[in-house]
Chain A
Amino acid sequence: MSELSVNHLLGIKYLNKQDIQLIFETADHFKEVINRPIKKVPSLRDITIANLFFENSTRTKLSFELAEKRLSADVINFSAGQSSVKKGETLIDTVNNILSMKVDMVVMRHPNPGAGVFLSKHVNASIVNAGDGAHEHPTQALLDSYSIRERLGSVKGKNVVIVGDILHSRVALSNIYALQLQGANVMVCGPKTLIPKYIDKLGVKVETDLRKALKWCDVANMLRVQNERMDISYFPSTREYTQQFGVSKTLLDSLDKEITIMHPGPINRGVEITSDVADSKQAIILDQVQNGVAIRMAVIYLLASKIKQ
């Protein structure tokens, strides 16, 4: 098996176990490439990729752009803020206009869940979902699993807790799918108001006591509190949230084992995790960032190999 079963990366939901395995194995090769003195390969020199960001992003956009450039693809960038979207152009029109300039692949972040799936049905290009509303963020979940595999040897059988704002998080949903596909046990932990009502239907454990969750897990993935997506108050105050769901070094040291701490960034230091945790050896936050480039190179390379000439 050396080909993906899909032509687009719209979500982890559409992938199978072999796809994830192939992406990881390919990412291993790219990780070696990006640690060379010259960190670039010419594979995608005849591919043009458009990065369409209809929602703000810093690290995902940088990571995708770097991955594309390391593969020698031609890259064009588009941010909704400076575009005709504001003038009333529809998504399909915007994308078809860009595609008529001979673009082969679209990396898109969009505030509406399902935007990538919608687009894949209407335009002739390979689509990579870089986050669609509170739905999925597949490359983040892939790099999270890849980082767990790198730190702990494998994902299978590991206990992973996702802590924080599960309700507004696309990272959480993609991670749940990805981890379960690889045979990990998944728990979500956070204030009841930020945990979707029927999440147990996905086969995940639900816990509202952080200490119990940390005792159970091998890995804790700390999510950011997404204030920008909250139209009402889901918890009384940030201070109270931190007291109940923030991870401090004292809390970690009181456990009888050393767990791995992850964070998709950007970190609110002193809210989800304290600074000494973020900078400790237990945290693999910066490894996640480096792995993000390798994973995105692998995804783009594998999808591009399916674009017929």
Chain B
Amino acid sequence: MSQKVLLNATEVNIILHRLACQLIEKHTDFSETVLVGLQPRGKYLAQRIAKILKEDYKIKDLKLGLLDITFYRDDFRRSEKPLEANTTEISFIVEEKNVVFIDDVLYTGRSIRAALTAIQSFGRPKEIELLTLIDRRFSRHLPIQPNFRGRQVDAINKEKVIVQWQEQGEEDAVYLINN
């Protein structure tokens, strides 16, 4: 097994600030915009971007939710491992709002497909965008592309991209692992 560092802590930090700035450029004061982190892996990225927006760019009343897509996945009873659910914390209605989905890695696009269905339970959004830290090119099963991307990676299917957050105990980093 070989492991390559794609991004170190400093690079992750620079990218997070850039993504935050791109969001501000598009959504200005976020009065009509809500951020939705996709569980389980998008949670840390969403919380981190929300923190930068609030603390460094003084965005007030930023709405952040967490969406679990387990019950909307298309591989129920098809995957080897049982699917484990996570909490959904969305305390607002997304009706007529601009929704930004936040996830760490965009791979096949199936999670995003599930999220697009799941979010409908909270209203009809005006628009949905996608922000991902890592965009794995050439591996999509569905016609889904990110609107905001941290880094594009060309990885073959055997390879895994792992995003590690300091909230999980170690420093921020993105690895490419080859089994």
Interface residues of A (CB under 8 A from B): 2-3, 25-26, 28-29, 32-33, 36-44, 46, 71, 301, 304-305, 307-309
Contact = CB atoms under 8 A, between A and B. Distances in A.
Contact of A37 (B76, B81, B87, B93): B93
Given A307-B77, A308-B77, A37 B71 contact: no
A41 B122 contact: no
Contacts of A29: 68, 70-71, 85-88
Given A36-B121, A37-B122, A37-B123, A304 B68 contact: no
Contact of B121 (A37, A301, A305, A308): A37
Range, interface on chain B:
20 to 34
Interface of B: 68, 70-73, 76-78, 81-88, 93, 117-118, 120-123
Most A CB atoms within 10 A — which of B85, B86, B88?
A: B85
A242 B85 CA distance: 46
Given A29-B87, A41-B72, 9 more contacts: A29-B71, A29-B85, A37-B93, A37-B123, A41-B121, A46-B77, A304-B77, A305-B77, A307-B77
Contacts of B118: 41
B77 to A, nearest CB: 6
Contacts of A307: 77
A70 to B, nearest CB: 10
Contacts of A39: 121
Most B CB atoms within 10 A — which of A26, A37, A46?
A: A37
A3 B77 CA distance: 12
Contacts of B93: 37
Q: Provide the main secondary structure of the chain B interface.
A: loop
Contacts of A309: 77-78
Contact of B122 (A25, A26, A36, A301): A36
Contact of B117 (A32, A36, A42, A44): A42
30 contacts: A2-B81, A2-B82, A2-B83, A3-B82, A25-B85, A28-B87, A29-B70, A29-B85, A29-B86, A29-B87, A32-B88, A36-B121, A37-B93, A37-B121, A38-B120, A38-B121, A40-B121, A41-B71, A41-B118, A41-B121, A42-B72, A43-B71, A43-B73, A43-B76, A46-B77, A71-B71, A301-B71, A304-B76, A304-B77, A305-B76
A304 B82 CA distance: 11
A206 B72 CA distance: 48
Contacts of B72: 41-43
A1 to B, nearest CB: 9
The 7 A-B residue pairs whose C-beta atoms are closest, nearest first, are A41-B71, A38-B121, A2-B84, A29-B85, A3-B82, A2-B82, A43-B71
Contacts of B88: 29, 32-33
B100 to A, nearest CB: 20
B82 A305 contact: yes
A72 to B, nearest CB: 9
Contacts of A38: 120-122
